[in-house]
Chains A and B, each alone.
Chain A
Amino acid sequence: MWRGNAWPATLLIAGMVGYGLFVSLSMTTWTDYRQLLSDSVFLESIGLSLYVAVSSTSLSVMIGALLAAFFAKQTGWAAQLLAIPLFIPHLGAAYLSLLYLSDLPVIGPHEGNHFSIILTYLYKEIPFVFFYLLPVYRRLDHRYEELGLMLGLSRLRRFWHGKGVFLLFPVLEAAFIVFAFTLFAYEVPALLGVTYPKMIGVYAFDLYTQGDLSSQPTAFAISVVLTGMLFVLLLLFTRLIRPLTDRISKGRSE
């Protein structure tokens, strides 16, 4: 695993997010948040974004992990084909969807089911998850599972102690990155989404730029609420799940 110095990057990113939060908070008042949480347009928008983000994340993590499990045992170059979508930016992937899905029913762009957006994210995120998990799979030590077999563990428990413990946190990391990205992204939903309800990134940007700019506090409030949600998720990961997997993999308890 990479053990380089992560501090410069951490400081830079923390500084940017921290200052962004500071500016956003200074632009908003309590009333903005109260209004936001009772605004049905916002609630529909966040509901839609959660639907798209959760579906895209769970599907891409599942498929990406299965592919990584499969290719971990191969040595050929076939897996490198999966790198192609990584070189295409999200904007480009959205245009590809416009180009190739436009005349198709159900999965075409601008449909209320938002399948075209989810498909675009799958195209981009499956390879991301795949390359994120491939080294983890390659490092798995199959002797743990053999040991489990010798000890007569059930299939499920063999999988959990042999692989699951080592995979859980990397899988959740990949899922968190994909989820945070797809939840508040702009380009893909701006090109493929519908007029109403808009996904939250598009809605916030519209509020931020339009008209006499009097809706800007609402846009700032949205970004604070979303950042807050992601922070809570991050805390859950690091405080609850990480210690659990650490403990199990070090064998201190069942």
Chain B
Amino acid sequence: MMKPMIGIAAMGMLLAGCASPATPVQEKVLGSSYTSIEKDANATTVRMYMWGGDEGINAYIDDYVTPKLKKEHQITLERVPIETADLIQKLRAEKKAGKKTGVIDVVWINGDNFRNAKKNGLLYGEITKVLPNMKYVDPQAQGSDSGTATDELEAAWGKVQYTFHYDQASVANPPKDLQALKSWVKQNPGKFTYPEVTDFTGNAFVRHVMYGVESKETLKNPKADFKKTWAYLNELKPYLWKEGKTYPKTLAQLDQLYAKGTVSFTMGFNERRAEQEVKSGTFPKETRPLILTDGSIASTHFLSVPFNAPNPNGALVTINTLLSAEAQLKKFDATYWGDGTSLDLATLSSDEQMSFENVPAADSTPKPTEFKGKVRAELDPELFDVIRKEWPERVAR
């Protein structure tokens, strides 16, 4: 009945547990060689908790990764779908209760959730030090997670660009920048919207508006008044879907509106994400990509291990496998997911580089040259909170 109360009740179950600063198990696992980790991981079960809102991503894990781990390490991988924010709550409650052995081995996180996990000490330790495949990972992607230093607590799994997608059948002349987008929205009332800012993708839409309309100095100061951003969004509002009286609660809801043809645009991190949606017939056939000249924020997503993982050896082997060139190529390929690789292609063999270059790109995927001069770094994580606090009062109200 009341989700908040569930959290409270969960905490209620925990009662007074004492914090455990000493972590001998962690030291033992992270201090051993990868060969011995691999040996200990053999024929174990690994539970991977991850956001489950995308069929392609789920299929990549279930149909490709799970059999691969079974074959190579006799590891049984269990994928558990969960909202990442709920997962952090769960770990926080377990930490508070002093629960030393949890149920989660691998987590998929980034941004806010990583910042919260790091701040509350919810992660296992410097896991990337022991993973052999880290030598292929792009150091730039690995260095920072939306402005928070990763400190080897998580390993970069994929790297994507924020991309708009539109239906060419209903948008003949796609807007080139935010100002043109505004004119288009005004001329086509009801055909555009964005997810509300509690959603990861909706929050990022507002950050793109910030990049487009605010000065560099303002962007550096989270305490500033972002009145140009709110003004822009308020100008859009009366012409949005449902006259801006409500917004899709999640990206999944926006995608449904786009699939039904109610709106002509959708958006999201990952330039290739429309490929399998078009192939499966969910998105319109003539879905095309759009990179606004105001910029596209680059985002990296990561894999990590919780502080109380029951099977840390299995978790590390799973992560290392996911960072192999072979698994990354399959992830890049649009068959399942179509997610940008976190590897630095220059570190791979020429054969492997070739196979990455040979992956065909559908019409819904932008050519690499389209990003030239448009790639933007993620903004200060404090701005995420500013947007969540201010947008409901200054725009949605």
* A interface with B by C-beta (< 8 Å): 16, 19-20, 23-24, 40-41, 110-112, 181, 184-186, 190-191, 193-197, 201, 204-206, 208-214, 219-220, 222-223
Contact B242 A23 (CB under 8 A): no
Question: A23–B397 Cα gap in the complex (Å)?
Answer: 32
A-side interface mostly: helix
Q: B385 to A196, Cβ gap below 8 A?
A: no
* Cβ A210 vs Cβ B198 within 8 A: yes
Residue of A nearest to B247 (CB): A195
Binary interface profile of B, 220-263, with partner A (CB < 8 Å = 1, else 0)? 00000000000000000000001001110100000000000000
> Is A194's CB under 8 angstroms from B85's CB?
no
User: B2 and A185: CB pair below 8 A?
Assistant: yes
Does B17 belong to the interface (CB within 8 Å)? no
Which single member of B8, B196, B242, B247 contacts A223 (CB below 8 Å)? B8
Residues in A neighbouring B11, C-beta threshold 8 A: 23
Q: With a CB–CB cut-off of 8 A, which chain A residues contact B85?
A: 209-210
Cβ–Cβ < 8 Å partners of A206 in chain B: 198
1/0 per residue B371-397: CB within 8 Å of A? 000000000000011001000110011
Bound form: Cα–Cα A220–B5 in Å: 9
Residue B115 at the chain A interface, CB threshold 8 Å: yes
B interface, CB within 8 angstroms of A: 1-5, 7-9, 11-12, 85-86, 89, 92, 112, 115-116, 119, 196, 198, 242, 245-247, 249, 384-385, 388, 392-393, 396-397
Taking a contact as CB atoms closer than 8 A, the residue among A112, A208, A212 that contacts B112 in the complex is A212
Bound-state CA distance A103–B85 (Å) is: 32
Given A195-B396, A196-B396, answer yes or no on A211-B3 (Cβ-Cβ < 8 Å).
no
> Which of chain B's residues have a CB closer than 8 A to the CB of A111?
245-246
* A56 nearest CB across to chain B (Å): 14
Question: SS class of chain B's interface: helix, strand, loop or mixed?
Answer: helix
Closest to A196 in B: B396
| Nearest-Cβ distance from residue B93 to partner chain A, whole angstroms | 11
Give the Cβ gap from B230 to chain A, nearest Cβ, in Å: 14
Task: Verify A20–B245 contact, CB threshold 8 A.
Answer: no
- Within 8 Å by CB of A195, from B4, B8, B249, B388, lies B249
User: Are B246 and A212 interface neighbours, CB within 8 A?
Assistant: no
11 contacts between A and B (CB under 8 A): A16-B9, A24-B8, A184-B1, A186-B1, A186-B4, A201-B4, A204-B2, A208-B7, A212-B119, A212-B385, A223-B5
A196 close to B392 (CB less than 8 A):
yes
